[in-house]
Each structure stands twice: as structure tokens, then as C-alpha cells.
Amino acid sequence: MAKNKLKTLPNHLGIYIRVSTQQQANEGISTHEQRESGISKANLLGWTYTIYDDSAQSGSISYLDRPGMRQLMLDVDAGKLGGMFSVDIDRWSRDGKYEEPQIIISIFKSSGIKIFTPSGELNLQDPNIEFMSRIQGLTSSYYRIQTQIKIKRALVQSAKEGNAGGGPLLPYGYKKVKKLLVINPEEAKVVELIFKMYIDGKGTFVIADYLNMNKIPTRRNLIQNGQMTIKRGERRKANGEVIPEGKVIKSGDDFRWRDKTVLGMLKNPIYKGQRRYRELTVESPIIIDPIVFDTVQNLIEDKKHFREAPYSKSGATVNKFLLKGLIKCGQCGQSFYGKKRIDIKRDNAYCCLSQRYKGKFCGTNGISIEYLDDLVWSEVKKIKQNVLEYFKNMEEGDDIKTFKDLLHKSEKEIEELNKNLLNLNRRYNEGKLTDIEYNPLRMEYLNELSHNQGNKDHFLSKLNSLHQKESVLQVIENFTEKIKDTSLNFEEKQSIIRALISGIKITPKHAIYIRYKLDKLTDVLLDKEYEIGYKPNGHRIGIVGERLLIGQINHKHAETGHTYNSIYHVRKDE
């Protein structure tokens, strides 16, 4: 801002008005009172005046973004004002960084204009008055910060207590009863339907169309004030016609289910009991079983990694592969790709990518597409049997007792270490230990505590896997019912495989490891191993052995690199 000390300023008063909320207007000095007080001052001085109105503008907004204050500052810089009036310094700014009140004071001081309040004139050229004015500016900023902290703390506590919060647009499936967030039974059925349809292989567009066709209302269809004003800029149609900018008001039946709405619901953890509130997560009533919710998240994530098959000019897909994106080479770690020739059936194979590069072939031969597809699909049909085998192994083995004993041991050690640490701190505070004696012992105790806490968490997670049995089986049951359908098309079968299997590893000797996705949902680690036999001439014999690999961290398997606590031999042909 330019300095106007040498310039004669006009007898013209700028009257600044600001009140941020209606409540402040009712409880404090209203805009009308501020205006009248400023005009009275101008009349008393015998000056002309201009009103700079920032009604309903928060002091936390930068003065450059408040039209009234911005224009006032421009007029001060241009030498159009000889003074300014406001009811208090805190009207100027309540910047949370403490900076803007100081900037405004410096600009007013350098401009040489007079500052008036209902209490009289503030002579900023006087160091004492300037100092007090700057302190008041700091106090205004501090008060705003403390008010924000108190409001946030109250809102967070309210959310923790299960209160629904303000506004009519609660998450779909919930309603407000006596300020509490509770389940809306009718809407909850729709939420459950959306999750079931997605698990069944339906996309978000299909689900949205189904809800619209069946006239299932959206949240905005149901609330009385469900209007939305949409601002649109200037648009141009394909034919060159220009549609001017304007506003469109939507209400009632204008609101339809959209794919983005469905996807947002599928990804919202509130339905599994985790309500996101600012940076916190608080408990909420559960509509969707957490295992089912996590299954859907895995399906959503998988869709990012699987590209659709290319299309020919006729619109038909070219060479669709059931296991695309799932197979890895156990030798070099590269992916397998599908290779098909219409004229020669025997060349239809999944092959390691290393075969494509001269001199880079790792030695893992391809495997028949038809054979591997059938093998994996038959394995998918056995998933319930294999999961039951896992839990049977856990329940009948020594694992439960072992983990309970280890958990108890960890808890006792943690309790003892906490006592030792407390006693160590007491002795140090009493002056019985020097820093040289205290610090190494304290670090030793803290390291041991961290180690034992890690062990405790690990043993708890293993025991929790048994508690998840019913939820896991319920998810599996949803898929097994679909698998029984003999009329499934290619896309439906592929969707089921991708939902249940996270990967397939093939070694040079054609040992095939199929990893279930259960480890992404629970603490269950479950793989299936198949050993494929071949004659000396290279012709395939078929399966010569299969094993169910049940996971805990005890035994490391040489081929997969994973760790298992037991290896269950389903069949082994010698």
C-alpha cells in the first residue's frame, strides 16, 4: 500500500460494517446499529461518508476476500478516505494465524487516516495506542482459535456419544431419533441389497438402474427440503449452440440413483460400524457385516487391476481369459499371459512373460488354458470344504491352547514390566538413580514392553480368526450358492474367481499354488497346492498330489515363500 502522509486527505469517512452470523446480530451489535453509529459520527465530524458492508462475512475470511474490507483498503490506498469507523477492532479481522490484524493496522497507520470507534479516536501514530491496538488484534485472533477448538471438541464428543449431528442428509440407511444415529430398517434393506448385488457381480451402473427401475427412493426424494441448486457455467453443444450460464434447481423426482452414489455407499465404512468424523473414527450401528464389507472393498480394488479384454471391429471381445491377471511365475515372478490360436488348439496356453523376450526365458513352460481354467474352477467349488477344514484343524489341534498360553504369558510379562518401569521412575524421582543409571534401564524396559505388546497383539489376532468363523462361512455361502448355477456366463464365473482367489503361482515343475483371499478378510492364511505329473515325452498325466496349506507363522514353505503352521495332505499318490 502507498503511504499518504504528505497528501492532504479528504473529509470523507469510511464506515465498516461486519457481523458474521444472525446469532451475533441478535446478541451483539446489529448491522443497523453499526450503520447508524457510523453515520452519526460522520454527521458529528461534518464529513461525507461511504458504507462498506460485509454483513454475514466471517472475520476468519481474508480481508482480500471480503468485498467490503477489500474496497475500503483500496480506497485508503487511493487516498479517498480521511478516516474510517468501526464498532471494534475485532470487526477488521480474526485471522487464525494472527497476521492480518497486524497488516491492517500497519496499512492504516502508514496511510495517516484517522480511526474512530464509539469510544473515540484511536491515534495509531501514538506508540502506546498502536501497541494496545495490536494486542487487541492478537486477542481477537486468539479468541477465534479457542472458540473453534471448543466447537470441534464438542462436535467430536457428540459424535462419540452416537449423536447424528445436524442436517437432514444423514447417510442412507440411518435416521435420527432423539439426536441419536439409529438404523432405518427400510433403508437398511436397500443397503444390504446393494452390497449383495455387488458381490453377485453386478456393477454400480447396473445396481443404480435396478434401483431406479424399481422406484426405490433416494435420500433426497424422501426429505421435505431435498432441493439442490446447481450452478452451471457457459456450455457449448456439439452443434455449436451456446447454453448460457445459470442455475438449475433440482428437487423431488429429479434425483435418481447414480453409479457414483452407489460406489460411495459401497466404500463408506459407516455400514460396518466405523463412522468417519473429521480425523477420527467413531462407532456407528452396523448394517453390513464387516467381513462382507471388506469382501466388497477387495472386489472394488481388484477392478482397478484387471483391464477389460480388447474388442474387435465387430464389437466382440478378442481372446477372453478366465484367469487373466491372477497367474504369476514361481521362478521369475513375472505374470502369465494367455495365448490362443484358432487353428491349433494345443497351442492355447497360459505362458510366462519371460518367453516373449529372447534369451530371457526362465524355464517355466506354459500350461493348457482349458486344463488350468477347469482345475481352478473345480477348486473354487471346494472353497467351503477347505475353509471348514481350516477351522477343524484349528479347533481340534493344539493351536487354541498354545495361543491362549502364549497370550497369558505376554500379558503377565507386560504387567511385570509396567511395575518395574513404575518403580524405576519412582527411584529416579527420589534421586536414588543418576541419569547414567536410569536412561539405559528405562530404554530396556520400553523395548521389552514394545516386544511383548507386539506378541500379545499377534496372539489375539490368531484367536480372533476362530471368532470370525460364522462371518467367513456366511460370505463363502453367498458365493457357493452362485457357483451351483450351471448357467453362469464367462463374466460371472470370472467375477466369482476374482472375488475368492487372490493369486495363482506356477513353478517350473508345474506345482500350482492357489491362494484364497481369506487372508485379506481375516487372519486365515489358506493355500491349495496341486502337483501335476508328466510323462517323459512331455504328455500330462494329471494331478499326482494335492495339499491344503493352513497358515500361521511357524513353518516356511520353500516354494511359496509363505509360512504355515500345518500342511494338510488331502491326497498324495506315490
Task: List residues with catalytic annotation.
Answer: 20
The whole-angstrom separation of Cα 460 and Cα 478 is 28
- Per-residue cell: 332: 521369475
> Which amino acid appears at position 232 of this protein?
R
Nearest to 137 by CA among 156, 122, 121, 118: 122
C-alpha closest to that of 187 among 197, 196, 201, 175:
175
User: How far is the C-alpha of 520 from the C-alpha of 527, rounded, in Å?
Assistant: 13
Q: Report the relative pairing of strands 274-277 and 280-283 from DSSP bridges.
A: antiparallel
Give the whole-angstrom CA distance, residue 252 versus residue 198: 27
> What is the distance between the alpha carbons of residues 113 and 384, in angstroms, rounded to a whole number?
83
Q: CA–CA separation, 242 vs 517, rounded Å?
A: 52
Looking from the CA of 48 toward its CB, the CA atoms found within 13 Å total 7
Q: Which residues pair with 114 in a beta bridge?
A: 83
Cβ-based neighbours of 342, under 8 Å, separated by 6 or more: none
Distance CA 460, CA 519 (A): 16
**What are 525's strand-pairing partners?**
551
| Rounded Cα–Cα distance for residues 377 and 369 (Å) | 12
Lookup: cell for 474? 456366511
Handedness of CA 537, 538, 543, 549 (dihedral sign): positive
**Residue 521 · residue 533 · CB < 8 Å:** no
For residue 437, the surrounding DSSP H or E stretch is helix 435-467
Q: At what angle do helices 469-483 and 290-305 cross, to 10 degrees?
A: 50
The span from the CA of 477 to the CA of 461, in Å, is 24
SS3 567: strand
Place of cell 483498503: 73
**Coil/strand/helix, residue 499:** helix
